[in-house]
Amino acid sequence: MSTRLFGAPIKRKEDPRLVTGGGRYLDDLGHGALAAAFVRSPHAHARVVDIDADDAFELDGVLGIYAHDDLPGKVGEPLPLLIPHPALTHGRTGYALARDEVNHVGEPVVMVVATDRYVAEDACQRIRVRYEPLPVVVGIETARDGAARVHSDVPGNVAAHLTQVVGDVDAALASAPHTLTLELDIERSASTPLEGRGVYARWDDERDELRMYSSTQTSTGVRAAVAAKLDLPLAKVECIAPDVGGGFGVKIMHPWPEEVLVPWAARRLGHPVKWTEDRREHFVAAAHERGQLHTVTVGFDDDGHLLGLDVKFWHDNGAYTPYGIIVPIITSTQLLGPYKPGAYRVKFWSLYTNTVLVTPYRGAGRPQGCFAMERTMDAIADRLGLDRAEVRARNFILPSEMPYDHGLLFQDGRPLRYDSGDFPATLSKLKALVGWDDFATERAAATAQGRKIGLGIGCYVEGTGVGPYEGSHVQVETSGRVNVSIGLTSQGQGHETVFAQIVADELGVRMEDVFVTTGDTRKMGYAVGTFASRAAVMSGSAVALAARQVRAKALRIAADALEVSADDLEIVDGTVQVKGAPSASMTLGTVSVLSNPLRYAFDEAAQAATQFAGTFDPDRPPVAAGDEPGLEGKDFYSPTQATFANGMHAAIVETDPVTAEIRILRYCVVHDCGPMINPLIVEGQVHGGVAQGVGGALYERMVYDESGQLLNASFMDFLMPYASEVPTIETDHLETPSPLNPLGIKGAGEAGCIPVSAVIASAIEDAEGFAITRMPISPSELWGLRRRYAAGEITPLRRASPRSEPADRAEEPTP
Ligand code: MCN
């Protein structure tokens, strides 16, 4: 038997290539292509009155200058609304180039194509656009106020309003022994992958075909959108995602204006054209997320059991809604985490602002929801004087209650039904890992030294592996090489490794003989994309199913050739052999030769099986009815619902008593994504997610001024955590299998970042003795809160020692 590779901590196949500079990213392609550059709006909201490009045309090397009026047919029509929803009553999308109005700084207005980027940028400088400024809406409060409108035909700036209700919340709150109301806010942030967006397109005049490369998370989606916009048959468009230097959500959006315009220009000019986004463009013209204000009212009994939960929140969706309202829908459903809420009502308003549009960013609405719910759990514990972990445990959905249906509709329009998980076990592992029960001693020692430390906790459940489907093609060449194609794309998740592990196991071949291709529509035309932590579940299952088909076919052909029953055969290291008599065998390469009636054999091992070597049954056609030539198989996996991963994090944080600097001393993660295909990769994903979460908790924010200018649109000003700010991450795992897919897998790609803001807030609060209700938090903000606390403007926590307050103070809303 070959050693099973599923579950083995194998180093990533792709890394030697990537870390030695062998990666081929978008800007590594298309040398000699013409370059595109864009004139982008300097105003957050304005009418475009006039465009004067005469000076720019005079520049040597300029081949084309295009504004909206130059765009023909569908290229000039509004960009598509990808995910409509009945509640999205006022969905709006922009144009590839602004028509008569711009709605955020950075919106493309003119495209220049020139011999190189320098010339193209110089030409952009010479183009004079006259704008008539309009009132600007920045921030949720201004949008909610509704005095100024982003889109003149959208009253109150409300793109969508959605309510979901389970039970009688008003009655539950009215009769609850205790109620609390909390205001909890999260600011805007963004994916900020190291490689920005980019498109390179070539038009083939002889074949009337377009080949395009895009740094995308969905090559099939881009292909379909570009074919539709350019009025081309799908068969005439190929889209390939080369190596992609991170996506984290922003590259799932499609088509970006540039993804339409660059191929269009390539066809029009009959010459390849390329555009690679620069950092400033990425900040002001790609996508952000996270900005939400929440009001939570909770009713609970003396033991901390939830009786009713009433949540209202306002989501900042930026200037347009091409990606629908996925993010607030996720918040509204995933906020519940591992808990039974009692009666539940959630209402959200998705609001337009004159800022960059929103698409899901790793975690996609869950970090906000987790923050709201976990702050609420801490507030309940504090109000009742109970242990914070204990209050959580009392509200857990138990393993015996799985599958657990919340009675709500999830992001995919299907019931929010948890398939698996053992939340009590996850919590006890976390408590053991962080030393929950010993923390009081640790804190006492720190306090004696004049130090302030706090312990925080956060729990979450994450719907992963959403449908509708994903597919795979597995093919064995006559050499024994196994080619695996999956249609979704990779941005660094290690797909070349994990899918090779699955195929090697299923087929009985060596991992080094398996080669995985992702995100290439020439190889797999049907696919959805990489988002929602879905590749392991969706493509992992599809790859296993396709490999099983190939295995069955290999056994059938070999059984015929070896004149034994298929049941007596096994495949070991790429050789099909009789169990117990391995000398009766043939390689999979030979089986591949046999599978093709055109039996040319190019290697020695397969020579004996060529069409001239055997005898033939004259009554049997070379390819039997119902069979296909070749040792290959294709299969698709399409689940009925998402599968739900979960995890719990805890952190110990120290806050400097003088400077209010915040340092994470320990960060512990217990994670359950079902059986891990590759624990090394899962840990890497968790580490990356936590690092991104630390950014969201302590550093990263989008600082807009009142006129809609993004003041920190560069890596000089947008703070990110470096290795020095990311703590050592201690991890432990639980592997509760999902009953929904053949391998029992649940997703892992976003988990790390989901609870981090909640956990860090919980720990800071524990160290300081007053509530933290808004993230991210900087040392100067913490210092400001300390001053307000000292002035008696902020209610102390009950557990804050030595300044415990009388019971009636806790009746007030948390500030
Ligand atoms: N995995 C595993 N066992 C499991 C679950 C997952 O070994 N039980 C492995 C998978 O095989 C895969 C990795 O962990 O190699 C992540 O798997 P999955 O959870 O399926 O997530 P996806 O592969 O679909 O990746 C998407 C997810 C998302 S939504 C964002 S955002 C994100 C993330 O992955 N963006 C990333 N991780 C990223 N990592 C990198 N380097 N770059 C990004 O842009």
Chain length of the chain: 815
Q: Which of 278, 231, 279, 220 is nearest to 254 (CA)?
A: 220
Nearest protein Cα to ligand 1, atom 37: 749
Ligand 1: which of 533, 538, 676, 743 to mutate, most ligand atoms within 8 Å of CB? 533
Nearest protein Cα to ligand 1, atom 8: 676
User: How many angstroms is it from 672 CA to the middle of ligand 1?
Assistant: 14
User: How many angstroms is it from 594 CA to the middle of ligand 1?
Assistant: 38
Tokens of 788: 């307000």
Residue 760 CA to residue 649 CA, distance in Å, equals 10
User: How many angstroms is it from 179 CA to the middle of ligand 1?
Assistant: 39
Atom of ligand 1 nearest to the CA of 689: 37
Cβ(498)–Cβ(536) below 8 Å: yes
Atom of ligand 1 nearest to the CA of 675: 8
User: How many angstroms is it from 93 CA to the middle of ligand 1?
Assistant: 29
Q: Ligand 1 pocket by C-beta < 6 Å: which residues?
A: 193, 246-249, 362, 464, 491-495, 498, 530-536, 673-678, 681-682, 685, 688, 745-750
DSSP one-letter code for 813: P
Given the candidates 3.40.50.10540, 3.30.365.10, 3.40.50.720, 1.10.10.10, the CATH classification of the domain at 292-466+640-800 is 3.30.365.10
User: How many angstroms is it from 257 CA to the middle of ligand 1?
Assistant: 27
Atom of ligand 1 nearest to the CA of 191: 31
Atom of ligand 1 nearest to the CA of 363: 31
Residue 522 CA to residue 202 CA, distance in Å, equals 15
User: How many angstroms is it from 215 CA to the middle of ligand 1?
Assistant: 17
Ligand 1: which of 495, 685, 738 to mutate, most ligand atoms within 8 Å of CB? 685
User: How many angstroms is it from 117 CA to the middle of ligand 1?
Assistant: 34
Nearest protein Cα to ligand 1, atom 11: 536
Residue 795 CA to residue 807 CA, distance in Å, equals 11
User: How many angstroms is it from 501 CA to the middle of ligand 1?
Assistant: 15
Q: Which fold has domain 32-134+197-244+251-285?
A: Aldehyde Oxidoreductase; domain 3 (3.90.1170)
Residues whose CB falls within 8 Å of the CB of residue 413, separated by 6 or more in sequence, listed in order: none
User: How many angstroms is it from 632 CA to the middle of ligand 1?
Assistant: 27
The CATH class given to the 468-637 domain equals alpha beta
pLDDT for position 623: 80
Ligand 1: which of 493, 501, 530 to mutate, most ligand atoms within 8 Å of CB? 493
267-293 per-residue burial string, b: 16 or more CB within 10 A, e: under 16: bbeebbbbbbbeeebbbbbbbbbbbbb
Q: Which of 685, 687, 737, 672 is nearest to 541 (CA)?
A: 737
Residues whose CB falls within 8 Å of the CB of residue 447, separated by 6 or more in sequence, listed in order: none
* C-beta pairs of 151-157 under 8 Å, 24+ apart in sequence: 151/90, 151/92, 151/103, 151/352, 153/90, 154/90, 154/92, 154/352, 156/351, 157/351, 157/352, 157/353
Atom of ligand 1 nearest to the CA of 492: 41
Atom of ligand 1 nearest to the CA of 746: 8
Residue 125 CA to residue 97 CA, distance in Å, equals 17
pLDDT for position 425: 98
Atom of ligand 1 nearest to the CA of 246: 44
Atom of ligand 1 nearest to the CA of 532: 29
Nearest protein Cα to ligand 1, atom 38: 493
CA distances for 604 relative to 214, 478, 479, 573, 679, angstroms: 41, 11, 10, 18, 39
Atom of ligand 1 nearest to the CA of 538: 20
Nearest protein Cα to ligand 1, atom 34: 749
Nearest protein Cα to ligand 1, atom 27: 749
Q: Which of 337, 467, 483, 489 is nearest to 411 (CA)?
A: 467
pLDDT for position 484: 98
Atom of ligand 1 nearest to the CA of 360: 31
Atom of ligand 1 nearest to the CA of 495: 15
User: How many angstroms is it from 595 CA to the middle of ligand 1?
Assistant: 35
pLDDT for position 606: 59
Residue 445 CA to residue 145 CA, distance in Å, equals 50
Atom of ligand 1 nearest to the CA of 537: 20
pLDDT for position 750: 94
User: How many angstroms is it from 801 CA to the middle of ligand 1?
Assistant: 42
User: How many angstroms is it from 530 CA to the middle of ligand 1?
Assistant: 8
Residue 297 CA to residue 345 CA, distance in Å, equals 10
User: How many angstroms is it from 536 CA to the middle of ligand 1?
Assistant: 7
Residue 758 CA to residue 648 CA, distance in Å, equals 11
User: How many angstroms is it from 306 CA to the middle of ligand 1?
Assistant: 33
User: How many angstroms is it from 21 CA to the middle of ligand 1?
Assistant: 22
Q: Is 254 helix (H, G, I), strand (E, B) or coil?
A: coil
Atom of ligand 1 nearest to the CA of 497: 15
Strand segments, DSSP code E, in 567-617 are: 569-572, 575-578, 581-587
What are the mean pLDDT values of the chain's consecutive 10-residue runs (815 residues total)? Answer: 86 95 96 97 98 97 98 97 96 97 98 98 98 98 96 97 97 98 97 96 96 97 97 97 97 96 98 98 97 98 98 98 97 97 98 97 97 98 96 98 95 92 98 97 96 97 93 95 96 96 97 96 94 95 97 96 95 96 92 80 59 63 84 95 96 97 98 97 97 97 97 95 94 96 94 97 97 97 96 86 39 40
- Tell me, yes or no, if the two domains 292-466+640-800 and 468-637 fold the same way: yes
User: How many angstroms is it from 669 CA to the middle of ligand 1?
Assistant: 17
Question: Would you kindly state where each structural domain of the chain is located, as residue ranges?
Answer: 32-134+197-244+251-285, 292-466+640-800, 468-637
